[in-house]
Every structure is written in C-alpha cells, then in structure tokens.
Structure 1
Amino acid sequence: MPANLLDLETPCLLLDEQRLRANVARMKAHLAPLGVAFRPHLKTAKSRDVARIVMTSATGPATVSTLREAEYFAAGGVRDMIYAVGIAPAKLARLSAIRATGADLALILDSIEQADAVAAHAASTGDAVPALVEVDADGHRSGVAPTDAATLVAIGRRLVAGGATLRGVLLHAGDSYALNDPAAIADAAEAERVAAVTAANALRSAGLPCPVVSVGATPTARYVRDLTGITEVRAGVFMFGDLYQAGVSSVEVGDIALSVLATVIGHQKAKGWVIADAGWMALSRDRSTAKQALDQGYGLVCDLAGKPYPDLVVTDANQEHGIIALRKGSNAALPDLPIGSRIRILTNHACATGAQYDRYQVLDGEGGVSAVWPRINGW
C-alpha cells in the first residue's frame, strides 16, 4: 500500500479520516440532547467503512437513495433502512427481494397511485412493505402538502387496506440549501418540524398509525434547536463537507474531509494558467457555488497538506484537464507549481465528486495513506 501521496496515481479520491470522524462527532453531539434517533444518509458515502463510523450501530438505522445502496449495505449487515426516493412501482419486486434477506427496508411515496401500487404488491406477495408518506416541507421538491389532510389520510388508508404498513411521514427541507445564515437555517428547521408534526397529527387524527416522523437535511440538522414531535433526523453530506456546504455555513472549509489528488501537467504562462490532470470527470460538473457569494469554480486548490492556496481555483474544466488560475480580481501571487507537482482540490459537491470513484484513499493524521476503502456506484 502506498505510504504517501506521491506514490498514488492521479486523479484519485482522498478521505481525511480525522476530519470525517470530527464531523460525525459534531453532528451526533448536536443532536443528542434533542432526544431523537439519528438515521444518517449514506448516499454520499456509499461505503461500508464510512457507514460503520457514522451509524449509531452496525445494523443501522440508515438512509439510502438507490436500491443498489440498499443491496450493498444489507449484504454488509445493515438491517434498518429507508429508501428515501419516491417509489417507482417497477422497483417493488427488487425492494422485496432485499427485504427477504432480513433487512427492514422501507420506502417513501407521495401519491394515491403509488399507494395503490404498493398495496397491490403487498396483497399479491404477502410482503407488508413499510411505507412513509413524503411530505413537502417547503416547496423544494416532492411531497404532499402538510395541510392536505385528505390526501395524507387517503394514502394511508389505501396502504393499510392492501396489507402494506404505514410507517409514518418523511420530510426534507431542501430549501435550506439556499440559505447561508445560521439563524435563517434554524428557522427553516423549525418550519420543517411544524410541517412534519402537522402531517403526523393528520394521520393520527384519522386513526392511522404514524410511529416515525422523519426530517432532515445537512443544514437544518446542523442548526435545528427543537425537535419536539420528531422521532428521527437524517443527514448525509455533513460527514464529508464540501464547498457548497461551506457556502451555506453548514461546515467550515477546514472541516472538508474529501478532496481530489491531482498532478500538474502543464502551464499557459501568458494566461496565468496551471493545467492539472483532473477535469470534470474527476471533479464533477457541479458548479453550485456559482450561485453563492463566493464562486469556487470547479474547486479550491490546496497544497499537498490540504492548505488552500490563496484565491487559487479550478476556473474551467475539460473532460480530463483542469484549468487552474487565480480568482478574478485577486491580488494573490500564483504559486510556483512545476510540472509533476501534486495538489489537492476541494470540490463543490461531495456526492457528485464521489460518484466518479470506486475507492477512497484514506489519510491518517500525518497525511499518509493508511487504508483503501471501497465504495460503490450505480442504481
């Protein structure tokens, strides 16, 4: 196994284990006094080694975003999972096959049509599939309006009548990703809580069960103040952090645990460019920080120890070429980076960057490579 970063082929994905563990400990410490279960989202990690660090037990609970993840983690002994993407009826047989291995895998839905499909599947297979009704916390994405008691109750009754299990309600405060003030994010978390409790009360008032009231997003989980009426919180990208999360104040740049190791392969001195062997295939196409106060290009360039160079970013990217230059308007000096120099790049979106790789090169406290942890991709 390589002992240091100079021995690795580039580009490759680096994971700072100390930062990972510190991020997990910070989130757990914040949530512990609030009296809820923690169900980490493993869609960013896609790794059993990371899951063992972030979950509260070896068997879960956990959240997944693909059935491939559910299969992989179930094979690794995780037993309590929510597949937190609206169910497509064609996936029900595969979901039940995972459940048949001993995993309590629940699904989510937000329509009567989906409820009818799940109920029919439960009736025909005898698998009392557990389902949570997705509730729209803020107009960001999917879900039933929390005040639409008629639809919530109709979905619940269709599930129960067909032999499926009504497990509860699930919300995601996606609009919190557009905020950057901790007080505003805390207010979004409270709005999410109120919406969740309102929806849960609608089901219970109709005589329907609602044992699980699940909320979560990394920003709201980070700043939530009150979780009365909530049973569990979900969050995922917090464990790694990224530049977008730094832009919304969920993490500090110094907390970011994930980076891409790259090599300098050329220069365009007249243009002030340094060329690296990490383009958008290595960093991802995500340009989400372009909408924030500080545009980080395709990534923030750091030295081999992970310290950012002042105002040095990947300003443009081709498939395999990263174009590195000083941020527009900067008075910083372009660092001396001869061909062959190694750099680390912090990226905008940990989920999108991670999806390019099948393993983590795990860094120890001294900056050396201590392990290689496999990760999966696909659906």
Structure 2
Amino acid sequence: MDRNIARLRNRLDGLGVSLRPHLKTAKSVEVARCVMNSPEGPAMVSTLKEAEQFAAAGVRDIIYAVGITPAKLARVAQLLEGGVDLAVILDTVEQARAVAEVSRQTGVRIPALIEIDCDGHRSGVRPTNQVQLVEIGQALAAGAELRGVLTHAGDSYRGGGAEALQHCAEVERLAVVDAARILQHAGLPCPVVSVGSTPTAHHATDLMGVTEVRAGVFVFFDLVMAGIGVCQVDDIALSVLATVIGHQREKGWIVTDGGWMALSRDRGTSKQTVDQGYGLVCDVNGTPYPDIIVADANQEHGILAARAGSNARLPDLAVGDRVRLLPNHACATAAQHGSYNVVRGSSHVVEAHWTRFGGW
C-alpha cells in the first residue's frame, strides 16, 4: 500500500498537480491519513456517511462525488456549518437551483462543481453543450458557489494498452479544460478543474489546465487494474485470508471458507483477456499459484480450481491450510469486511487493526 501511494504521488508531483484521493475504496480513517496530503485533506467521498465519518476525524476539504439530490442538502449544510468545506457535484439546472435555494435559506453558500461527461460513460454535461453549462453556472451563482468542473474517465476501465489509456487521459483533460474556458468566458468563476480515474492518473502525460487529480483504487489495486495493465499482481495490497475446509478431488476442486460473502460477487475480470473468476489464489505468503482461481463461489464456500484451458495442477493443500485470495474489485471486497488486519511485507504479524465503515 505504501509503495502504491508513493508511486502515484511521485508521478503527479512530476506533472505539477495535486492529488485528491478518493476514500470510497478503503473507507478507513487510518488509510485516509496515509494517503491524504494532510490530516485535513483534500479528499473525495462517495457517500454522505463517509463525509460525516471523515469530518469527525478532522478532514475539512471534501468533495461528495455522487450527483446531489434536494433531500441530502440539509446534511450537506450541516457539515458546512460545522466548518467542513464540503462541495457537491451536479449536472442539471434543477439541481443547481435546489442548491442555490437551500444556500439562500440557510445562509450557507454550498460549493458545487459541474460534472462533465468526457466519454459518454455515465453522467455529466457534455463540454460542447455551452448553453447548459452556462445556465447551470448562473443558477448556482444565484445563491450558492460555483467551485469548478470535474470529470471521470470511466471508459479508461476498458483498458486497451498504454497508448489507449494515454488517449483517455487527454480526452478527460480536454473535456474539463474546455468546459472551464466556457464558464470563464461567460464571466463565471472556475477555480477547480478536476480529473480522475486510477488508469488515467497513471497514464496522463500532460495535465495543463488541470488543478487536481482524483483516484481511489490505486491505494490497494486489484485484479481489474492488473488486467488493464495499470499495476502488476504483486502490487495488489488487499487480500482475503481463507482456510481450506474440504476437497472434491474427482471434480478438481479445493473448497475454502472464502465465498462471495468474503470476496463479493464482483466479476470485473470476466470481460478481460484473463478471467480471474472470483479471485486469484495465492499461498499464505501471497505468491500466486499459477492459473489457480476461485472458479465459483457460494455464500460461505469458495471453489478453487485450475483455470479452464490451462495445464495447471491444484496445489497440495490439506484441510486447515490457508490461502490468500486476491480480489477482482478492491472496493467491493473490502466492503464485505469491518476492518483491515495490517501486515508488512511477508510478515504474518498483525501490526494493527484498522476499522472500516459502510453505509450511506
């Protein structure tokens, strides 16, 4: 984990931009303190529960990364009144008007960023839609605070190699830089120009006009990121320690107690060149068994088997032996657990237990 954090920090320092880590992956105060620039932030969250938990731990500079709705604005205003600089995101005039209205009612100017759609992946305003951008900006200016623009290159998760990811990063950059220019030409402020995804953060070569980069899963990495080529399997800092509970030798199975309740149902590698099933199987020290995967998973049972089409042989594991399972999606696997057991290198000594929280 330490190495992963240092890798991205050094890269962004070289490009002259700051890092705003997305804390949704870890949802842990201890991990947050390892990755933020300071105990006060900056930080990105995906739920208001995260914002409240991290605010209680002293984080003061937060962006809430999911499109805001009117019913959530009372909680946002409460955090702002408590001294937290919490910005929201939106992509419609209706949202902007609601934010401005609550700002006027409470006397608290709620900061908001306009979400830009850089690749058609999810939500946001297209940077070519000048009329909508300016209308949203003007609606915010009537009571709230237009903080800037932000985008997320979701298409980067399709991979395609280094050149394709560099292209995604440049498309991402141009989208927000163009949107910021439109707002500024309309006489509207745009101090923050924010981009972010782990693949583009690791492949951007030019961040001219960008003020910050957001990324989250880079802290732990996972098999999806390894499949895209953003990291190596050895960089994955999160694993589930499971125990062998039986064998079905005629089927070529080893059965563990690491089912989908421990790993999640995420099958994010299923469309990649190498399908890792529900996870990649390693020995207790974290060294992968070649082509041995969690081929299937029930609620509390994991089925270890050789990858289809390979010549791999099952390891000689007895009931009670332990294996480490590397996750497809670190966010989803971490969400199955209430805390992290912290170990260093090849040591099995648990140095600390870091609490993890969930909820909205």
TM-score bin, normalised by smaller chain: over 0.9
Identity %, equivalent residues: 63
- Cα deviation for residue 57 of structure 1 reads 0.9
- Cα deviation for residue 69 of structure 1 reads 0.4
2:109 aligns with: 128
Match of 1:138 among 90, 107, 119: 119
- Higher RCO (CA 8 Å, separation ≥ 6 residues): 1
Query: Aligned pair 1:308/2:313, yes or no?
Result: no
TM-score (normalizing by structure 2): 0.99
1:156 aligns with: 137
Query: Aligned pair 1:336/2:316, yes or no?
Result: yes
Aligned pairs for 1:363-374 within 5 A? 363-365=343-345, 366-374=347-355
Query: Aligned pair 1:349/2:342, yes or no?
Result: no
> How many residue pairs are counted as aligned between the two chains?
359
2:148 aligns with: 168
Match of 1:64 among 39, 45, 68: 45
Partner SS state of residue 220, structure 1: helix
User: What amino acid is aligned across from residue 113 of structure 1 in structure 2?
Assistant: E
Partner SS state of residue 266, structure 2: coil
- Cα deviation for residue 175 of structure 1 reads 0.2
- Cα deviation for residue 330 of structure 1 reads 1.4
Match of 2:238 among 251, 258, 274: 258
Match of 2:66 among 68, 80, 85: 85
1:272 aligns with: 252
Question: For the residues of structure 2 that align with 1:278 and 1:97, how far apart are their CA atoms?
Answer: 41
- Cα deviation for residue 368 of structure 1 reads 2.0
Query: Aligned pair 1:42/2:13, yes or no?
Result: no
TM-score (normalizing by structure 1): 0.94
- Residues 322-355 of structure 1: per-residue CA shift (max 9 Å, x gap): 0110001111221111111111000100000011
Question: For the residues of structure 1 that align with 2:77 and 2:252, how far apart are their CA atoms?
Answer: 56
Partner SS state of residue 239, structure 2: strand
User: What amino acid is aligned across from residue 28 of structure 2 in structure 1?
Assistant: S
2:14 aligns with: 33
User: What amino acid is aligned across from residue 269 of structure 2 in structure 1?
Assistant: T
Question: For the residues of structure 1 that align with 2:286 and 2:40, how far apart are their CA atoms?
Answer: 34
Aligned pairs for 1:284-299 within 5 A? 284-299=264-279
Whether contact under 8 Å (1:171, 1:214) holds in the other structure is: yes
Question: For the residues of structure 1 that align with 2:71 and 2:117, how far apart are their CA atoms?
Answer: 24
Q: Which runs of 4+ in 1 moved over 4 A?
A: none
Question: For the residues of structure 1 that align with 2:295 and 2:160, how far apart are their CA atoms?
Answer: 23
Question: For the residues of structure 2 that align with 1:248 and 1:62, how far apart are their CA atoms?
Answer: 25
Aligned pairs for 1:183-222 within 5 A? 183-222=163-202
Partner SS state of residue 258, structure 1: coil
1:116 aligns with: 97
- Structure 1 residue ranges without an equivalent (≥5): 1-19
Aligned pairs for 1:95-110 within 5 A? 95-110=76-91
Question: For the residues of structure 2 that align with 1:347 and 1:33, how far apart are their CA atoms?
Answer: 30
> Comparing 92-101 with 40-49, which one deviates more in the overlay?
92-101
- Cα deviation for residue 95 of structure 1 reads 1.1
Question: For the residues of structure 2 that align with 1:97 and 1:355, how far apart are their CA atoms?
Answer: 27
Whether contact under 8 Å (1:180, 1:247) holds in the other structure is: no
Question: For the residues of structure 2 that align with 1:68 and 1:112, how far apart are their CA atoms?
Answer: 26
Whether contact under 8 Å (1:299, 1:348) holds in the other structure is: yes
- Structure 2 residue ranges without an equivalent (≥5): none
